[in-house]
Structure 1
Amino acid sequence: MESSLAVLVRLVHAPIQLAQWSDQLGDPDIGAQGWFAGVTRRKTKDDAGVVRVTHTLHYEAHPTMALSELDRIATEATKRFRLTKVIVIHRLGEVPIGQVSVLVGCCSGHRPETFAALPWIMDGLKSNVPIWKRETYQDQSTEWIHP
């Protein structure tokens, strides 16, 4: 889904590599590019502070709704933070340890806007986008996680 030249959102099933998306932010008239990559980590603390060892993550989504909400968040971020471009790529399916689950990139004339936009976009994604995560632990137990 692509609502404008300034916003690019995708749901993908293949590994996400920054190199394949970095040229999308290129613009000779901007001074700041920022990226956030959410990566599957091996250890996770539960609400009680107990450390669990993760084997893998699996993401599922309602694709139409997820893309629409990602587009809304990215478009709002361009206005709110005066961004030139926003890219949000979220992986679906199994995401092994060390691989990227979500990649967010944005650019603006100066770094404060880019630095402020990245956590705002991720917070909106985590709170509002219908993407669900199933964590499989080393002991093969599973848990669905959505904030």
Structure 2
Amino acid sequence: MLHSRAALTALINDVLQKAGASPAQSAPTALALVAAEASGLPSHGLSRVPMYVAHLKAGRVMGNAVPFIANQRASAVLIDAANGFAFPACRLAVDEAITRARATGIAIAAITNSHHSGMSSYHLDAVADAGMVGIACSNSPAAMPAAGGKRP
């Protein structure tokens, strides 16, 4: 029986590594999944583990990916997730955005070639901790209708 978030994070980290993820890919992914679960958003939490494992095994996500800065300007940065999990790329994007916003007053970061980005608010915690305001957006296939709508 798991008795803490740390134990659950360690278990997910281990499962992802056994499925082929590097520690640099698995650790931030495990943290994000547990945070989503703890925040009451299981659709972006533990329920994702079997799917992420299957995606690793099928090569849909690259377990050894290393995100990198693909393009940059003073207030903008494009992170290439190298077809890995989004979480390490999101961490790099947020860190870069905070640094650039401190230097220029405003910043934007975008990520390309990534996997599912999880609970958007999770990525903004570091922005709030830096005393800044952030907005997170993601693309997605039509899956849910707008409020009052009947079709996605």
Question: TM over 0.5: same fold?
Answer: no
Alignment TM-score, normalising by the size of structure 2: 0.30
Q: Higher helix share goes to which structure?
A: 2
Structure of higher RCO (CA pairs closer than 8 Å, 6+ residues apart): 1
